[in-house]
Structure 1
């Protein structure tokens, strides 16, 4: 190893990589928890250290130079190596104190995780919990979270996953709304009802049709990318929504639309990184979630 040839600071490399991946200095500053001027100075210091202009300044925008683009893959490899070092070090920690980040959908984060975390508080008061509420699949390999609750099985070999009990989902609405549409007794009777979409209507429609509902795009009158917002629309009587039986039980203002409806079943997976799971605090939270969500 030619140590004298390595003249740059890793923090400066990190600032450059964050700026490239986040798209701007301001976004990179937010992602790294630094100020924008500090990040800008670190990028400039890297340029001075390696003698290469990485960005062209166009007003308030940064444009990656050809030389900068050629370095990105090498810098990204350094970032991935740094993440692996962090993972390995975290996995060796045997303390039951410290931060654990849990990624879950907004519905699960809102309705199911808080009471589970309250139980954990009594069991392990030294653990700090951050809930990353997102309907996107978090990247555990890049430390977006330590533990993820997902409804799809992970494919990466570096991850470990435990399948929990399958959940059942049904159609729900308020009694007042069902009375307005004639108290439907079959799926066919719902052809004129309003439905709540979680996400874009064109994406939701095939799922409704697969349930045997005779719907068209016009039936999905209200929709949101947020599952919590969509569910509250159903709870306020705007239409029919789909929800897991466990969450619906927490909302006394709604009832099951068709008591004899065949449920839509979906799996729940608890996922973490193979190295992180050797950490005592992460193992404790992982096992607690597994028991509570099963």
Structure 2
């Protein structure tokens, strides 16, 4: 095996792995399809491995390719972290900071916080990665994470900002058509909105509140944003942050005495970034912005 392999070959490998065909990878990477094919062949020759087999629908990864996915992604994360660090060198707050958060927090809560941050520091570039998967800060997949659970990894700076309350909500139009449930038994006649894939979190919720088990959901999606959109569209009753529902009269909380789910909220980053101006100001802005959001969500909510 060749001892020194260009990062560009691994980048192309990951592109093909993600997109499933040479042509799709070429479009995503802004390369020509022949270039992608040559780089993939060069990587296979350098490694002495067959990474993909051709099929009528594209290419299929071999076991070797799947085994290489994680270390290749680690190289990718390290390369991007190096680029972000290099771009931040110089006087003042400048460069790129990558922030990861869950879908709903990233779409509904963080935009005004990040807008104010950019207004104060126009030399700062923010990459906002939205995913319900916990990205690995130790591997530098992101610089800063907003998480709904305490970090389990060491070598991280973590600040707990409080608990975001989640409740059951519905649109007034839905409740006008179907009535407002007064207890858990009333939910049997309602359309519930929830997750499709059963996770450990969903199993715990289902054990505590049997009405929220997967088989009870009339509308299922693993996208938090899609669930919120369905609730707002009057499709049924689902879970929503109390603070978001309070922003307008478009959502009404139901069964507030019977259901309340607090989600611990943390802002975390790798301890090696504590002296980075770009990361330090972003970390503090996120903490303060989330504290303000939690404070605004603390006022009493009229129940439906």
The interval holding the TM-score normalised by the smaller chain is 0.7 to 0.9
Please state whether the residue corresponding to 2:145 is helix, strand or coil. Answer: strand
Contact preservation (8 Å) 1:102, 1:148:
yes
Q: Is the 8 A contact 1:158 1:274 kept in 2?
A: yes
Match of 1:108 in 2: 105
Query: How far apart, CA to CA, are the structure 1 residues paired with 2:190 and 2:207?
Result: 14
State how many pairs are aligned: 284
The range that moved more, 258-267 or 199-208, is: 199-208
**1:134–1:31: structure 2 CA closer, same or farther, 3 Å change rule?**
farther
- Residues 232-279 of structure 1: per-residue CA shift (max 9 Å, x gap): 211222211111111112242111113534521111122222323432
Q: CA RMSD in A?
A: 3.8
Q: Are residues 1:155 and 2:152 paired?
A: yes
Residue 254 (structure 1) aligned to one of 227, 251, 259 = 251
Tell me the TM-score normalised to structure 2 length: 0.74
Cα distance in 1 for partners of 2:3, 2:214 equals: 59
Question: What's the offset of the Cα at 1:166?
Answer: 0.8
| DSSP 3-state at the match of 1:184 | coil
Mapping for residues 22-171 of structure 1, pairs under 5 Å: 25=22, 34-46=31-43, 50=46, 52=48, 54-55=50-51, 58=54, 69=64, 80=74, 84=78, 87=81, 93-95=88-90, 96-171=93-168
Shift of 1:79: 7.0
- 1:225 maps to 2:222: yes
Equivalent of residue 207 in structure 1, options 205, 208, 215: 205
CA displacement 1:172-224 (0-9 Å, x = unmatched): 1123322433433233332322111133489858625623x646756421122
* Distance (whole Å) between structure 2 residues aligned to residue 101 and residue 116 of structure 1: 14
Contact 1:201 1:223 in 2 (8 A): no
Larger radius of gyration: 1
Q: TM-score, normalised by structure 1?
A: 0.76
3-state SS of 1:275 partner: helix
Unaligned runs of 5+ in 1: none
Helix, strand or coil for the counterpart of 1:268? strand
